[in-house]
Structure formats: structure tokens, C-alpha cells
Amino acid sequence: MSIQRADASRADLKSMLPAEIEAFVAELGEPSYRARQIFDWVHNKGVAEIDEMTNLSKSLRTALGEVAFVTRLRLVAQRESQTGQAVKFLFEVPTGERIESVLIVDGARRTVCISSQVGCPLDCKFCATGRMGLVRNLTPGDILDQLIQVSAYAHERGERVTNVVMMGMGEPLLNYDAVVRALYLMRQTEGVGLGGRRITVSTAGYVPGIRKLAHEELNVGLAISLNATTDAVREELMPINRRFKIDDLLEVAREFHQLRGYGVTFEYVLMDGVTDSDEDAVRLAQLTADVPCKINLIPYNELGSESDFRRPSQARLKAFYRALEGAGAEFTVRESRGRDIDAACGQLFDNQEAAVAAH
């Protein structure tokens, strides 16, 4: 992993692992405990300026400032859903673009949905972010800072973030190095300290990235957006299916289970007249019958009049669940939180009024 530098001449301390900060301060002639102090300032105290690291000598702060900086996103807006089940954050990254993160409240669970790219190149037809195209990749510091800032917000409310999903704007596995570095940083017990399975990476099905992720010592959960039971329909909905077919996804899901010892989750969005027939339910059960996996059904969230898709009726949803159960599959249903603030799946994109998310 190489450190990504948003500022070509200076290194982002928020993107560096503890051992890297140690090597970095050693080059400045400083002992290793300085690295621990810096890591604490960046990850636990959330400072934006090196000058705020007041237990470092003035001379060290000056020297550090010449070769390093700390990524800090600017909070542009924050909005809570009427039900209180989601809070959406609009951030500006140092290069000026805007991204979104969402805090999702579910019982005692507090999950942060994090963006990995500004926009997304994959153009899934049901996704607001896909309409933007790819603007740019986020750095590890940009990715991590979403979690640090939302965690600080939760802390102010007397709550603690328990889970992370890489399910915001962007395809995480197409910004692999930055995302994986951010995941390793989230795991550091001296910092955020979120354990492996409390983090889930959600992908549209970029198979080489899934294979690579399975070999990382991360133990993160993996969700694959399946969303169709035939290649013809999936190709219409998700152009990535031209490269990676449903069979490829099933095969890589089996590999993932063999390597990691736990299965992937297949996400399946139910869209009226597109993916919600009884035949789809039976095919979904058949496709996944010999794959160790979970199935997560998500009734579609409409994006107002711009949307080409509709949420199925309650009766159709129930019929689909019955057919899937009848075909022998186990599944869960996820009703997206925060629909009233456009903070539900497929509704994240760079719009200051409306906004939010992906897979």
C-alpha cells in the first residue's frame, strides 16, 4: 500500500498507519512515542491542524507542518430524518467536491454509511450517484474522516458508532487501495478500533476486487448487489454485468467463503415489474441454493418523478417473500431508514438539497 497524497508535497497524517507515522517522525529525529501522540490527535481528538497538537514541541509542529497535513472534511449540512432513524451529512472534501455520509439508527446499533468516491463510474440505472459519473476517488483520509466526524456527532448525543458500511457514493472496490487502507486504519485499537465483521464493504460485483479483498487480513463483511436473477435484466440495470455475469458472482462468493470462512450477503433490490416476480423469487432461491450466503431484500426507494423504477405494492412484496420462502431460501428484509431525507439506498448524490447513496 502506498500513501496517497492529496497535497503532492506533503503527506496526509490521517492516511498513515501507526508504523508509518513512526517511521515518518523517526526521519525528523523524533522518538516513537511522538507517533502515538500524533495518531491520538488525528484519530481520537479529531484535530484539523498540526498546530493544535499541543503536547508536541513548537519546533516539531513547525517541522511536521512542512512535510505533513491532516485531512479534514468541511461539514456543509446535516439533516435528521423525521423518524430520527437517519442523519445525513453533506461534506466538502479538500479538493472542493461534495460527498455524503449517513448515520443509521437501528435499535442499539449505530451504523455509518460511508462514501468511497465522488460520483461513481458504474452507472447502475436505479442509482442517483450513478448519474453523476466518476468525478474522483477519495483518499484514505477523506474516507476515514467521514467516520471520525460522524462518530464525534454520535458521541455528543451520548451514543457510539457500532458499525460501518462502505455503501455510500462510489464503488469501493474501484478505489481499492484507498478503501483498504482506510479499513486497516478503522481497525487500529489506538484509534477508532472497529473490529472486522462490524465493517461491511458493499460492491456492485467487481470480481477482481472481491478476490483481492478476500486475501486481506481484514475479516470485513462483504455485500454483493445482485438485484436480478437473469443476466439480461441485470445487464439492463447494472452495466457492470457485461463484464461480470451472475455466475461469476456466485463463483467468487463461494471462493470468498472458502478463504474467509464466512459467506457474503447478496443484496437484492425489489423493483416493481422488474425484479419482483414469483419467477424471480424462485430463480433467486435456485441460484443461491449451493452458495453459503445471506440474502437481503430491499424494497426500492423511489427518487421522485425522475425515477424510472417504482417500489412494488405491499401485496407484491408479500407475494415475493412467500415465493422465496416456498422455494426454500432464507432472507431478511431491509427497509431503508431515512427515506424522508433521501438518505436511503440508491439516493446519495452530489446535490445540496436532495442527496444520498448507492448500492
Closer of 35 and 134 to ligand SF4 (Cβ) = 134
Binds ligand SF4 by CB under 6 A, chosen from 18, 141, 170, 312: 170
123 in contact with ligand SF4 (CB under 6 A): yes
- 3 membership: H or E segment, kind and range: none
- How many residues touch ligand SF4 under the rule CB under 6 A: the total is 13
Which x/- pattern, by CB under 6 A, does the window 196-235 give for ligand SF4? --------x-------------------------------
**Active-site residue numbers?**
100, 345
Stretch that binds ligand SF4, among 20-28, 32-40, 163-171, 193-201 (CB under 6 A): 163-171
Measured CA to CA, the distance from residue 96 to residue 313 in angstroms comes to: 41
Residues shown for the chain: 359
Burial of 258 (0-12, 13-18, 19+ CB in 10 A): exposed
Placement of cell 474516507 in the chain: 143
Binds ligand SF4 by CB under 6 A, chosen from 120, 164, 201, 343: 120
Q: Say if residues 348 and 100 touch (Cβ distance below 8 Å).
A: yes
Binds ligand SF4 by CB under 6 A, chosen from 187, 337, 339, 359: 359
Strands 163-166 and 134-137: unpaired
Minimum CB–partner distance for residue 202 and ligand SF4 (Å)? 8
Minimum CB–partner distance for residue 226 and ligand SF4 (Å)? 12
Minimum CB–partner distance for residue 234 and ligand SF4 (Å)? 12
Stretch that binds ligand SF4, among 24-32, 116-124, 207-215, 327-335 (CB under 6 A): 116-124
Which segments within the chain are labelled E, that is strand?
Answer: 11-12, 68-69, 74-80, 86-92, 98-106, 109-113, 117-119, 134-137, 163-166, 199-203, 221-225, 264-270, 293-299, 332-333
The sign one gets for the Cα dihedral 29, 33, 35, 41 is negative
Closer of 130 and 191 to ligand SF4 (Cβ) = 130
Minimum CB–partner distance for residue 123 and ligand SF4 (Å)? 6
Stretch that binds ligand SF4, among 43-51, 125-133, 270-278, 335-343 (CB under 6 A): 125-133
DSSP per-residue codes, 234-255? HHHH-GGGGTS-HHHHHHHHHH
Residues with Cβ within 8 Å of residue 67, at least 6 apart in sequence: 10, 11, 24, 28
Q: Say if residues 224 and 206 touch (Cβ distance below 8 Å).
A: no
Closer of 129 and 149 to ligand SF4 (Cβ) = 129
Instruction: Give me the residues that bind ligand SF4 (CB under 6 A), please.
Output: 120, 122-124, 127, 129-130, 169-171, 204, 358-359
